[in-house]
Amino acid sequence: MANLSKILVTGATGSIGHHVVAELQARGANVTAMTHSAGGGRVPAGVGTVVGDLTSPDSVEHALGDVDTVFLLWPFLAADGAPDVIDAIARHCRRVVYVSATSVRDDRPPAENGVWGQIEDAIRGTDLDWTFLRVSGLATNTLAWTAPIGASQPVRIPYPRAARSLIHERDVAEVAARVLTEDGHAGATYLLTGPAALTQTDQVGVLSAIAGRPPRFVEITRDEAREEMLTWADAAMVDSALTYWASLVDTPEPVTRTVEEITGRPARSFERWALDHADDIRPTQTSEIVERYTTTSP
Ligand SMILES: NC(=O)c1ccc[n+]([C@@H]2O[C@H](COP(=O)([O-])OP(=O)(O)OC[C@H]3O[C@@H](n4cnc5c(N)ncnc54)[C@H](OP(=O)(O)O)[C@@H]3O)[C@@H](O)[C@H]2O)c1
């Protein structure tokens, strides 16, 4: 470990962040979890907490105190307000590790790279030492399908043959913990993916097997998907996501070995992720199926 400088973890109660906190604690780091609501219950015993709201730069500034390094997870779909928060971090800290996305393309202007490109750009504009963890699709996205699968209803998906290299949130967290506590990562952009690209059809198959339900999906059109997504995201984000997914039918999402190169251990498979979330996926007791998968999944 490089040193015991103080690390602040934002998003500390979320699916990636709570693993980051636990990993840092296990590595003996000086970690503080930033919480903004009653979700502080997910912070492991023995880890200090500080309240902070990422929509309020003043509250983030207050949380920074003597922090040296920030793990920045921006949980919103837009970058509004992010530059002020990043400026506050730059005034107090030396280093930031930011959770970005593999969809960011360096040959496009930041404004065309969604929230992630805009935040990377704002960070680049400071004197901070930065590391960007560009993450492929999070496997947790597929938890949205567990309700229809459990109810034996078809999952409604556009582009069922789109193949994504979904990543386990623990792999993101283990990479983050290394990067936050080791030297030599300043200025690095890491592309983090799962170990294989699986079509959406295959993903439904894995979840259905864990749930003990027959795999069922129905392909919906781009327009149908767009209408559903507009209930939770803005038009620019929806159109860019749909265009990206369409591209993955003929060109599967790339697979990298970066998780293994940094942690020394291969990235966990989607099947492994599903087993780790079996309690979230299965509607009833399907322990025999889980056991069958456990014996065959890395
Ligand atoms: N989904 C994908 O495929 C994908 C791909 C690439 C990158 N990403 C990035 O991955 C990240 C998602 O991480 P995740 O799955 O760990 O998210 P998550 O489970 O939804 O957790 C979000 C965290 O942010 C906290 N939070 C919410 N509002 C806040 C506020 N106003 N102030 C301070 N904290 C706040 C939440 O706290 P509470 O628990 O208290 O609400 C929670 O700790 C996002 O940054 C996303 O851009 C996602």
> Atom 22 in ligand 1: which residue has the minimum CA distance?
14
Tell whether the model's pLDDT for residue 145 goes beyond 70: yes
Residues 219 and 162: their CA atoms lie apart, in Å, by 11
pLDDT score for 112: 85
What is the pTM (predicted TM-score) of this model?
0.93
pLDDT in tens, 276-295: 999 999 886 544 455 555 55
> Atom 5 in ligand 1: which residue has the minimum CA distance?
137
| Residue written as token pair 């390094």 | 69
> What CATH number does residue 273 fall under?
3.40.50.720
> Atom 6 in ligand 1: which residue has the minimum CA distance?
101
Examine residue 32 and state whether it is found in any structural domain, yes or no.
Answer: yes
pLDDT score for 236: 87
Whether 115 and 152 share a structural domain: no
Is 114 near ligand 1, meaning CB less than 6 Å away? no
The helix/strand/coil state of 213 is coil
pLDDT score for 284: 61
Q: How confident is the model at residue 47 (pLDDT cuts 50, 70, 90)?
A: very high
Tell whether the model's pLDDT for residue 27 goes beyond 60: yes
260-287 mean pLDDT: 90
Examine residue 82 and state whether it is found in any structural domain, yes or no.
Answer: yes
Whether 22 and 149 share a structural domain: no
Query: Among 135, 157, 177, where does a domain finish?
Result: 135
Contacts with 254 (C-beta within 8 Å, 6 or more apart), sequence order:
102, 136, 165, 191, 193, 197
**Number of structural domains found in the chain:** 2
Q: How confident is the model at residue 111 (pLDDT cuts 50, 70, 90)?
A: confident
Whether 147 and 51 share a structural domain: no
Examine residue 174 and state whether it is found in any structural domain, yes or no.
Answer: no
51-64 mean pLDDT: 96
Examine residue 185 and state whether it is found in any structural domain, yes or no.
Answer: no
Tell whether the model's pLDDT for residue 15 goes beyond 60: yes
Whether 18 and 162 share a structural domain: no
pLDDT in tens, 58-107: 999 999 999 999 999 999 999 999 999 999 999 999 999 999 999 899 99
Whether 145 and 119 share a structural domain: no
Is 99 near ligand 1, meaning CB less than 6 Å away? yes
Is 167 near ligand 1, meaning CB less than 6 Å away? no
124-142 mean pLDDT: 97
Examine residue 55 and state whether it is found in any structural domain, yes or no.
Answer: yes
Whether 200 and 216 share a structural domain: yes
Examine residue 117 and state whether it is found in any structural domain, yes or no.
Answer: yes
Whether 112 and 228 share a structural domain: no
pLDDT score for 219: 98
Whether 85 and 160 share a structural domain: no
Give the whole-number percent of the chain exceeding pLDDT 90: 85
Whether 231 and 293 share a structural domain: yes
For 26-80, give the DSSP string: HTT-EEEEEE-SGGGGGSPTT-EEEE--TT-HHHHHHHHTT--EEEE---SSS-T
pLDDT in tens, 176-203: 999 999 999 999 999 999 999 999 999 9
Examine residue 188 and state whether it is found in any structural domain, yes or no.
Answer: no
Whether 127 and 26 share a structural domain: yes
119-132 mean pLDDT: 98
pLDDT score for 287: 47
Whether 69 and 95 share a structural domain: yes
pLDDT score for 187: 98
Whether 201 and 96 share a structural domain: no
Examine residue 259 and state whether it is found in any structural domain, yes or no.
Answer: no
Looking at per-residue pLDDT, the higher value among 240 and 223 belongs to 223
Residue span of the structural domain in which 128 resides:
6-135
